[in-house]
Structure 1
């Protein structure tokens, strides 16, 4: 009996371990599959050129809801060129690199995404920070009002002759102690949410003002480099990125997007 029991336990443990190994976390990968692809600083990097405008791009990281690309734009033409990171956009492609369409619209439209405008996003983040400060001030006022009301109720019930009996006194103390604890808990939650949100907004401010590519005018021979943030879509197997260099022409780059199981490190 013990032998069968040990065998059964061993098989159960084996099944659990196999299940855990099969549930390895998936990591996001994005790699260029078009243009002149080379490895620079250990990362696959692609380059394409149209009308003297060169775009060099590589995948940087998945940043919250955005795919961050490290992009450099070079002006090899003989004219000034206006660079705006918000002009980058991509069309979602399927496994066969065919356009993915929005099925909810009629007529169907290609599934396309535009890069984030760093100036607009920085302004939006500043507004959100101001809103959070106002929200915390309002919460403080509400908490103060609740506390004053609780103290008034406590004093009034304590002075009531009917509450001098031991059982009524104990009930009164339990009730008001719970009210005070609830107000304190609400205060801690308010401050915790404020700290978490402000921390995120501080990072977003840094992202849009320090890391992202800025709109600029490139004179012949000049270049600009920074991160371009494209909304991430799980519906895309490939991202056909385009950047217009004129009314009729664009620089085109294709990246393959996939989620793969993270390799287990050997102990």
Structure 2
């Protein structure tokens, strides 16, 4: 009984610490990108750049920070006399420092820190996998919560029957009340986490299917517009972005990356 009481005390202390930490102010950092090359103009208060190579034009501006990505509002224009294939995965970037020198991969200094924009079709497929994994996680949590409740009830019955004094009885009641409360809180947290994550996956699915630039073919004088999502690179001060149509054109874009820090207070 003493061992169980001590475990319950630790559990209660952990929950109390989590509650208190949820009220503590936190420092958040947001990404801000601005074009630093090409024909730059301001449209609706937003800096926009335009570049062209071999009849392929790209108009680009920073849209927003979006979860683990930064989103660029991109329009691709076909000024050639033949169809061209547009694919967001053909947007590549290289991370640069403040002097516009290429950064190295943290785990392999011999390689440049570079990458490609997200492929909407691939990412949309990953969302379905995330949903299935989250459903499995909730099922495991339900089983574990049931085991905890059965163990708590068994301990409650056993320790109550063995209580010899009123003090032991009240101590048992307080300890097991805390245990039941802890299990109830854990169950609520499990369901809340499930709901929040599923809501996020719904947004991700909408993002890849409705907002992202889609792979398609542009006829002459046609254009297409959508968001291109680049993975965040915290150490970069510039992103050298290029849109490449193999054996036809490479359109260069340069964006400066800044960070804005804000103090936010978490709500319970």
The TM tier, using the shorter chain, reads 0.7 to 0.9
**1:14-68 per-position Cα deviation (integer Å, ceiling 9, x unaligned):** xxxxxxxxxx987643221222212222211111112221111111112223221
Match of 2:23 in 1: none
Q: CA deviation at 1:252?
A: 0.8
Aligned-residue CA RMSD in angstroms?
Answer: 2.5
**Structure 1 CA distance for aligned equivalents of residues 95 and 218 of structure 2:** 29
Q: Secondary structure at the match of 2:140?
A: helix
Q: Normalization by structure 2: what TM-score?
A: 0.78
More strand by share: 2
1: CA distance between counterparts of 2:29 and 2:164? 64
Q: What's the TM-score once normalised by structure 1's chain length?
A: 0.78
User: Which residue is 1:62 aligned to?
Assistant: 65
Residue in 2 that maps onto 1:120: 122
Aligned to 1:232: 232
Q: 2:83 aligns with which of 76, 80, 84?
A: 80
Q: Does 1:90 align with 2:93?
A: yes
Matched with 1:138 is 140
Cα displacement string for residues 165-224 of structure 1 (whole angstroms, at most 9, x for unaligned residues): 534433332332222122112112212222222232222222222211111111222211
Counterpart of 1:129 in structure 2 is 131
Task: Tell me, yes or no, if the aligned pair for 1:51 and 1:245 is still in contact at 8 Å.
Answer: no
Deviation at 1:154, TM superposition (A): 3.0
The SS at the match of 1:252 is: strand
The one-character-per-residue Cα deviations of 1:114-140 (angstroms, maximum 9, x if unpaired) are 111111112112211221122112211
Match of 1:29 in 2: 32
Which stretches in structure 2 are left out of the alignment for 5+ residues?
1-26, 263-268
Q: Which runs of 5+ in 1 are unaligned?
A: 1-23, 263-267
Q: 1:154 and 1:120, CA in 2 relative to 1: closer, same or farther beyond 3 A?
A: same
Match of 1:185, SS state, is helix
The equivalent of 2:259 in structure 1 is: 259
Task: Tell me how far apart the structure 2 counterparts of residues 98 and 178 of structure 1 sit (CA, whole Å).
Answer: 58
Label 1:119 to 1:173 Cα distance change in 2 as closer, same or farther (>3 A): same
Map 1:1-267 onto structure 2 (within 5 A).
28-102=31-105, 104-105=107-108, 108-158=110-160, 160=161, 162-163=162-163, 165-247=165-247, 249-259=249-259
- With over 3 angstroms needed to count, the CA separation of the structure-2 counterparts of 1:164 and 1:98, relative to structure 1, is closer
